Structure 1
Amino acid sequence: MGLKEDFEEHAEKVKSLTKKPSDADLLILYGLFKQATVGPVNTDRPGMFSMKERAKWDAWKAVEAKSKEEAMNDYITKAKQLLEADAAAA
């Protein structure tokens, strides 16, 4: 299986977690997902009254130095950690 297929498979698996990940974990996944699928940040930072959107933008900006492949690998690693923790808690 190629990296892109593995990435897409884990992106789907994360949606089936029985326990919602922490906000910090969700932001990590969001930033890595955007970097892997879109590339470097291509929008302006949201205003201070859009706290959720601003946090998501910051998470994406934090990983923009990674290549798409690095971001996919890191996303898969994080997804596996969350899936394992979810399975252990069940």
Structure 2
Amino acid sequence: MGLKEDFEEYAEKAKTLPESTTNESKLILYGLYKQATVGPVNTSRPGMFNMKDRAKWDAWKAIEGKSADEAMNDYITKVKQLLEEAGASA
């Protein structure tokens, strides 16, 4: 399987992560996913009263220099790590 297929498989697996997954981990995954699928941030930063979207935007902006392939690899690694942690605590 190629990187894109692996990425899509792990994007599906990410949907099965437990509710206990930290917001920090979810934001990392969000930023990596957006970087892999959209590329660099292409919107303006949400206003300060829109905390959730602002945090998501910041997570995406934080990894702006990564290539799509790097972001896909990092995303897969992070999902694997979170699934292992969830399995260990189950």
Q: Which residue of 2 aligns with 1:17?
A: 17
Instruction: Please give the TM-score of this superposition, normalised by the length of structure 2.
Output: 0.96
* Number of aligned residues: 90
Q: What's the Cα RMSD here?
A: 0.8
Offset, 1:87: 1.0
Alignment of 1:1-80 (within 5 A): 1-80=1-80
> What is the deviation of 1:19?
3.9
Judge conservation of contact 1:19–1:86 (CA < 8 Å) in 2.
no
- 1:76 is paired with a residue whose SS is helix
Q: CA-to-partner distance for each residue in 1:1-58, whole Å, 9 max, x for gaps? A: 1000000101101111234310000000000000000000000000001011000000
After superposition, the C-alpha distances for 1:59-86 in whole angstroms (9 at most, x for unaligned) are 0000110000000000000000001011
Using the aligned pairs only, state the percent identity.
72
Gaps of 5+ in 1: none
Match for 1:60: what amino acid?
W
The more displaced of 53-62 and 11-20 is 11-20
Runs of 4+ in 1 over 4 A off after TM superposition: none
- Name stretches of at least 5 consecutive residues in structure 2 with no aligned partner: none
Length-normalised TM-score, structure 1: 0.96
